[in-house]
Amino acid sequence: MRSLLLTSVVSLAGRFCFANGEKITFTSPRNPVLGDGSYYSADPGPIVDNNTLYIISGQDSAPPNDNDFIINDWFLFSSSDPKPAGAQWTLRTEFLKPHDVFGWAMTRGAYASQIIKGPDGRFYVYCPVMQANTTDEDPFGIGVAVADSIQGPYKDIHPSGPIVSQSHPAPGNNIENIDLTVYVDGDGKVYMYWGTFGSLKGVQLKSDMKTFASDVVDVTTLTGFFEAAWLTKRKDTYYMLYADNSAGPDSGCTPTVYHACIGYGTASSPLGPWTYQGVILGIVSSTTSHSGVVPYGDKWLFVYHTTDAVNGGNFRRSLAIDYMEFDDTKTPPRIKPITQTHRPASLPPPTYARQQFAKATSDPVCAIQYWIDSLHDLKTPVNPLPPEYWSSYNSADSQVKSIITYSWNTTIALNGTSMAFFADHDAGAVDGVAPPTQWWVEYKTSNGSWSRVQNLTSYLTAVSDTPVITYFKEVKTEGLRATLYAPTNGTSTAGIGIKEWAALSPQLSSW
Ligand SMILES: *[C@@H]1O[C@H](CO)[C@@H](O)[C@H](O)[C@H]1NC(C)=O
Ligand SMILES: *[C@@H]1O[C@H](CO)[C@@H](O)[C@H](O)[C@H]1NC(C)=O
Ligand SMILES: *[C@@H]1O[C@H](CO)[C@@H](O)[C@H](O)[C@H]1NC(C)=O
Ligand SMILES: *[C@@H]1O[C@H](CO)[C@@H](O)[C@H](O)[C@H]1NC(C)=O
Ligand SMILES: *[C@@H]1O[C@H](CO)[C@@H](O)[C@H](O)[C@H]1NC(C)=O
Ligand SMILES: *[C@@H]1O[C@H](CO)[C@@H](O)[C@H](O)[C@H]1NC(C)=O
Ligand SMILES: *[C@@H]1O[C@H](CO)[C@@H](O)[C@H](O)[C@H]1NC(C)=O
């Protein structure tokens, strides 16, 4: 991250929609493309023109620890040599703003957009934006604007309002009308899909790029479809990539409902029927996942977002890029699993923590919104989303006693432990998630039985992100387990929540 150079910052004259923005050039060593935390960029949509890759992306503007999508404008990234292993990039900030382009739109809500080249050679930007004045229950609609160059300026081609909203096609379109993808086929025909929360709709558009030329199809055959569809074609096969949230320990996609993998399907015609073909990218560091793909030279580029930039987060996401390859031994050709690449990590500082090397299990197995591996990811977020903590909470009946276990593949020395608890209720509450009434740890002895550690300080139950450590007489072990009791009144029991459970060695190590 330190090697990122902001080589020149040039203000642009006030002529175009990006009048107030800046043009920033920088060298990216690897993902995330812009990693220094100066700007955050989500929901990338790629397009190649004149050997240059352009990526429109929303600017994530949420402050740290604010769990809210605050996206008020779009960026335009570009590179004429976009290699995942490092490249020169240009970023135009404030490239487009919803209300500047679409007079009927609110000033916020710059969601996942795409620029495509129309059959007429002009450039069309499709944007989900919120209608300022609408009786629709959900204000999102899709606007379309045109420009002679990717850089703009863009002019609304349907100034009366969105081409898709809850009022069109009506009746029956009660979905949130965001997350569009548009494809111009070799024959000049135009197709658009859109939708979220499990609904995916598709339609052919006329060459005016805005009027429906077919009935709307509802796609129901793409397993786990959640949102973020991306339509493309290679040879004779259409590909639909999407954020898939088939959740569960054995789903092959995501362990928790708040995460998404990228799955895809194929079809031999642009409006389907679609055949599910599997997962090509597992969960990334952000809870949301959004991909876009485009051919560049003889390669295919896969763009997406993660939380991997400095001070990044689920609402402060950053553009990433990797190659996508096809397996032509199969019919239709399949997409090979994507290999995520990262910029060289600096060596983590030496630490006493050893939980990051353990396998974690729990009784009860946490409900699908929580995530066992958040126990030992060395992260204690101030305002966590459910997959960022482990919890015994069960809306029907939380267990009074929970046991969580760490197992290592080698014998290690330990002399301390601590718990950063999550709670949304006060100590003693028998509802929601509350601090435990008591807890302790045991270690695995050499004969495999569990024995209490000899604690030299107390086990505290206070909620803190920097909890007081319980020290104990040093043990050498392959396992540590904690037993926790939740507050209960006999009929109602609180859940326990843990952001991080530390297992501490007496020695500093960088491992
Ligand atoms: C295409 O790219 C080249 C090299 O970057 C540039 O000189 C040229 O002006 C571009 N052409 C157009 C039409 O943008
Ligand atoms: C919304 O309606 C109000 C009242 O009619 C009007 O003043 C305002 O300009 C409208 N806003 C937009 C963006 O159309
Ligand atoms: C043991 O765990 C460490 C840390 O997770 C890992 O690097 C190592 O490869 C594992 N060794 C074996 C034999 O599984
Ligand atoms: C296993 O080892 C522990 C501690 O060394 C000891 O207290 C316990 O009795 C042993 N249990 C068995 C079944 O040998
Ligand atoms: C061990 O932990 C218990 C429970 O927190 C506490 O009551 C006890 O005082 C601790 N022992 C020592 C020696 O601090
Ligand atoms: C236990 O707590 C629940 C939830 O607050 C309450 O509805 C119930 O009456 C309480 N039961 C007893 C026995 O106090
Ligand atoms: C445990 O190890 C830490 C780190 O070396 C040390 O500061 C602490 O005094 C040790 N505690 C006990 C009780 O041995």
* Ligand 6 probe mutation, 430, 488, 493, most atoms within 8 A of CB: 430
242 within 8 A of 230, measured Cβ to Cβ: yes
Instruction: Tell me the per-residue pLDDT of 187-209, one tens digit each, with 9 for 90 and over.
Output: 999 999 999 999 999 999 999 99
Q: What share of the chain is helix, strand, coil (3-state, %, to 5)?
A: 5, 45, 50
452 and 385 inside one domain: yes
326 and 362 inside one domain: no
Which H/E stretch holds residue 442? Answer: strand 438-444
Q: Fill in the amino acid letter for 240.
A: M
Ligand 4 pocket, residue 454 CB under 6 Å: no
Instruction: Tell me the per-residue pLDDT of 50-78, one tens digit each, with 9 for 90 and over.
Output: 999 999 999 999 999 999 999 999 999 99
What are the two backbone dihedrals, phi and then psi, of residue 116, each rounded to the nearest 5 degrees? -135, 160
Report if residue 340 sits inside a domain. no
Atom of ligand 3 nearest to the CA of 358: 5
Closest-CA residue to 110 (of 62, 66, 75, 86) = 75
pLDDT at 396: 85
Report if residue 157 sits inside a domain. yes
Low-confidence ranges of the chain (pLDDT < 50): 1-19
CA distances from 480 to 71, 271, 361, 510 (A): 44, 54, 11, 21
- Domain C-terminal end among 271, 302, 335: 335
pLDDT at 511: 63
Report if residue 3 sits inside a domain. no
Ligand 6 centroid – CA 139 distance (Å): 41
From first CA to last CA, the distance across the chain in angstroms is: 22
Report if residue 303 sits inside a domain. yes
317 and 370 inside one domain: no
Pick the residue whose CA is nearest to atom 4 on ligand 7: 506
- Domain C-terminal end among 335, 368, 383: 335
Q: Fill in the amino acid letter for 425.
A: H
Compute CA 472 distance to the chain's CA centroid, rounded to the nearest angstrom.
39
d(CA 511, CA 503): 15
Closest listed ligand to the CA of 415:
7
Measured from the Cβ of residue 330, the count of other Cβ atoms closer than 10 Å reads: 9
Residue-range definition of the domain harbouring residue 365: 351-509
CATH number of the structural domain spanning residue 121 = 2.115.10.20
CA distances from 217 to 33, 203, 303 (A): 36, 6, 27
Instruction: Tell me the per-residue pLDDT of 396-445, one tens digit each, with 9 for 90 and over.
Output: 889 999 999 999 999 999 999 999 999 999 999 999 999 999 999 999 99
pLDDT at 345: 78
Q: Is 234 exposed, middle or buried (0-12, 13-18, 19+ CB in 10 A)?
A: middle
CA distances from 83 to 31, 38, 324 (A): 10, 21, 12
d(CA 9, CA 24): 5
435 three-state secondary structure? coil
Report if residue 413 sits inside a domain. yes
Report if residue 57 sits inside a domain. yes
291 and 388 inside one domain: no
Contacts of residue 177, Cβ cutoff 8 Å, sequence gap at least 6? 128, 138, 140, 141, 142, 162, 164, 165, 166, 194, 195
- Domain C-terminal end among 278, 301, 335: 335
282 and 312 inside one domain: yes
Count of domains in the chain?
A: 2
Dmax (CA) of the chain = 77
Report if residue 4 sits inside a domain. no
pLDDT at 247: 95
69 and 172 inside one domain: yes
327 and 459 inside one domain: no
CATH number of the structural domain spanning residue 428 = 2.60.120.260
d(CA 402, CA 364): 6
Contacts of residue 338, Cβ cutoff 8 Å, sequence gap at least 6? 262, 280, 281, 302, 322, 323, 324
198 and 51 inside one domain: yes
Which H/E stretch holds residue 248? Answer: none
Q: Average pLDDT, whole number, for the chain?
A: 94
Ligand 7 centroid – CA 246 distance (Å): 44
Ligand 4 pocket, residue 107 CB under 6 Å: no
DSSP code per residue over 384-409: --GGGSEE---SS---SEEEEEEEEE
Report if residue 8 sits inside a domain. no
294 and 147 inside one domain: yes
Ligand 6 centroid – CA 434 distance (Å): 15
139 and 103 inside one domain: yes
300 and 399 inside one domain: no
The answer to whether the peptide bond before residue 32 is cis (omega within 30 degrees of 0) is yes
Ligand 2 pocket, residue 133 CB under 6 Å: yes
Ligand 7 centroid – CA 373 distance (Å): 26
253 and 391 inside one domain: no
CA distances from 148 to 155, 332, 450 (A): 10, 36, 71
